[in-house]
Amino acid sequence: MKEFLIEKFLFASSIFSIIVVTLIFLLLFSQGILGFREISIIDFLFGQTWQPTSLVKAEFGTVPLVYGTAVVTSIAMAISVPVGIAIAVYIAEIANPIEKEILKPIVELLAGVPSVVYGFFALVTLATWIQQLTGTNSRLNALNGGLILAIMVIPTIVSLAEDAISSVPREYREGSMALGASKWETIKNVTVPSAAPGILAAVLLGFGRAVGETMAVLMATGNAAVVNFNILDSVRTMTATIVIETPEVAFGSLHYHALFGVALLLFLITFVFNYMAGVIMRRYGRTGR
């Protein structure tokens, strides 16, 4: 009897995750969908203006927000992908044991720094550096957000990519070296290509993390909801919009539902990327957790 109860408890606990994911989706969906009784989905997805409280005409176009997220994330990925993979390769293939012992925990510590701390650093220090280097007037801008986000995504990419590279069978490398390839050629032509699916999964997860990051970009980007294709200009991301406007918009108002709509969009984007990463990991065997 006791065994039976314990098993039931264990089972219930493991079902809990499914319940939570479902609840999150249902909440976002049910609250978000109510907004679409009045906002057309076309306007929501393709509208150029986010003016949710306008007295003239409230507009809920998410293009500026998606643009903000896209530009900050692109900058972050453009830096963190090459840097992350380089560090992963270095740790897995090149570093001597002592370097390895130092690098691995440091990458973990980098992952452990809270995002509000990164945000504060971007706000007070990084922004000043960028302003001094470029002479821009907008202290807080997309580049600032992208750079700090890059630092935050690097640990995710490094740890997963390093797992993937390390789990490439030793025979591959030995075979390549036996054929006269140098260590670098082996890394470039054999090890990294063999680990490609795992590295791709790492990049996808890093991307998901970047899209969903909130506090650091909120504090770093200046939050102007406009599209003007200049990385030294201020942008407003989807996450920043939610955190700025949600605390308590008039409950059940159109604006309230529109914010849940933005969250739903965000949830779906990250869901797709995490799902793809999951599929790749499963298909190509163990490359990380």
Partner 1 sequence: MSSSYRNAAIYLIIGLLAGAAVGYLAETRVSEGKIKDLQNQIDAISTEILRGNIIQKGSDTLLIVAQRWAEEYMNKHPAVSISVAGGGSGVGFSALAQKTTDIADASREIKSSEIQTAKSNGVNPVEWVVGLDGIAIVVNPNNPITELTMEQLEKIYNGTYTNWAQVGGNNAPIITYGRQSTSGTYDFFREHVLHNKNFRADNRELAGNAEIVNSVMGDVNGIGYVGVAYTKQGVNVKIVKIKASADAVAYEPSVENIKSGTYPIARKLYIYTNGVPTGTLADYVAFILGPEGQQILEEVGYISYIKVDK
Partner 2 sequence: MNKKLLKQTIFFQIFRMTSALVILFLFVMIWTFISNGIGVISWTFLTDMPKRGMTEGGIFPAIVGTVYLTLGAIVFALPIGVASAIYLVEYAHEGRLVRIINSAIINLAGVPSIVYGLFGFGIFVVFLNFGTSILSGSLTLFIMILPTIVSASREALLGVPKSFREGSLALGATKWQTIRHMVLPYALPGILTGAILAVARAAGETAPIILTAVFFFRPSLPRSIMDGTMALASHIYYMATQHHAINLVRPLTYGSVLVLLSIVLSLNILAIVIRTRYRRRKNW
Structure tokens at 7: 């098993």
- Rounded CA gap, 63 and 227, in Å? 8
Interaction residues for partner 2, span 186-225 (CB under 8 A): 205, 208-209, 211-215, 219
By beta-carbon proximity to partner 2, the closer residue of 55 and 244 is: 244
- Rounded CA gap, 46 and 53, in Å? 18
- Does residue 112 contact residue 206 with C-beta atoms inside 8 Å? no
- Rounded CA gap, 277 and 289, in Å? 12
* Nearest distance in Å: CB 66, partner 2: 14
Query: What CA–CA distances, in Å, run from 211 to 5, 6, 75, 120, 123?
Result: 42, 40, 12, 19, 19
Does residue 167 bind partner 2 (CB under 8 A)?
Answer: no
- Rounded CA gap, 280 and 288, in Å? 11
**Partner whose binding site includes residue 183, from partner 2, partner 1, none (CB under 5 to 8 Å by kind):** partner 2
By beta-carbon proximity to partner 1, the closer residue of 144 and 194 is: 144
**Partner whose binding site includes residue 100, from partner 1, partner 2, none (CB under 5 to 8 Å by kind):** none
**Partner whose binding site includes residue 74, from partner 2, partner 1, none (CB under 5 to 8 Å by kind):** none
By beta-carbon proximity to partner 2, the closer residue of 45 and 95 is: 95
* Nearest distance in Å: CB 212, partner 1: 19
- Nearest Cα to 142, choosing from 46, 224, 239, 210? 224
CA dihedral 178, 180, 163, 271 (to 10 degrees): -120
Q: What is the CA radius of gyration of the chain?
A: 22
CA dihedral 207, 213, 216, 220 (to 10 degrees): 70
Q: Which residue has the tokens 């490439």?
A: 168
**Partner whose binding site includes residue 137, from partner 2, partner 1, none (CB under 5 to 8 Å by kind):** partner 1
**Partner whose binding site includes residue 228, from partner 2, partner 1, none (CB under 5 to 8 Å by kind):** partner 1
Interaction residues for partner 2, span 99-158 (CB under 8 A): 99, 102-103, 105-110, 112-117, 119-121, 123-125, 151, 154
| 38: Cβ contacts below 8 Å, ≥ 6 apart | 254
Neighbours of 242 (CB within 10 A): 18
Site residues for partner 1 per CB under 8 A: 49, 51-56, 64, 127, 131, 137-140, 218, 222-226, 228, 234, 236, 244-245, 247-251, 255
By beta-carbon proximity to partner 2, the closer residue of 23 and 228 is: 23
Interaction residues for partner 2, span 52-91 (CB under 8 A): 83, 86-87, 89-91
- Rounded CA gap, 245 and 239, in Å? 10
By beta-carbon proximity to partner 2, the closer residue of 46 and 275 is: 275
Stretch that binds partner 2, among 49-57, 159-167, 170-178, 271-279 (CB under 8 A): 271-279
**Partner whose binding site includes residue 193, from partner 1, partner 2, none (CB under 5 to 8 Å by kind):** none
